[in-house]
Amino acid sequence: MTQKLVYVLNGPNLNRLGRREPEIYGTQTLDDIGAMLAERGQALGMAITMHQSNHEGALVDWLHEAQDAGAHAVLLNAGAYTHTSVALLDAIRAISVPVIEVHLSNPHTREAFRHTSWVGMAAKGTIAGFGAHGYLLALEAAAQF
């Protein structure tokens, strides 16, 4: 059985998870989340490729790479770029790989500027507000298509 490739892309400041505002983002690190995804992915027959960058262009490049690599899905936590990046919106629309938007917190319970998601305008779906568990929920959803 061939494993399905899933890209997990993380935007700005997510490299600070576990130390950055734990009351909002939790205490798990991005490495913790990666380990959880790898374990669950293995059980689902999915291979995880995980990246993080504080630079918008790197996220765009990885979205393109996911398409070129034949990825089954992309889980994208674009961080603050969610609310500002037309470039990510266009990149998602430029590929045929389904993208699931992931947020640790629920943007709709936070500042008004976080209520608009450019990423969400092109994503297949959004999972928000469940902390690190949201990544696992997104992976489970990706396994269904």
- The residue among 93, 140, 137, 139 whose CA lies nearest residue 119 is 93
d(CA 115, CA 59) in angstroms, rounded, equals 21
Domains with residue ranges and CATH for the chain: 30-142 (3.40.50.9100)
What is the length of the chain? 145
* From 25, 72, 81, 135, the catalytic residue: 25
Indicate whether this model's pTM tops 0.75. Answer: yes
> Which amino acid is residue 78, in one-letter code?
A
Distance CA 64, CA 6 (A): 13
pLDDT in tens, 36-83: 999 999 999 999 999 999 999 999 999 999 999 999 999 999 999 999
Amino acid (1-letter code) at residue 47: A
Give the 3-state DSSP-derived string for the chain, with helices as H, strands as E and coil as C: CCCEEEEEEECCCHHHCCCCCHHHHCCCCHHHHHHHHHHHHHHHCEEEEEEECCCHHHHHHHHHHHHHCCCCEEEEECHHHHHCCHHHHHHHHCCCCCEEEEECCCHHHCCHHHHCCCCCCCCCEEEECCCCHHHHHHHHHHCCC
pLDDT at 111: 67
pLDDT digits 0-9 by tens, 100-140: 999 998 777 676 767 789 999 999 999 999 999 999 999 99
**7 noted as active-site residue:** no
**Cα–Cα distance, 6 to 49 (Å, whole number):** 6
Catalytic residue among 7, 81, 103, 135: 103
81 as an active site residue: the answer is: no
Q: What's residue 27's pLDDT?
A: 87
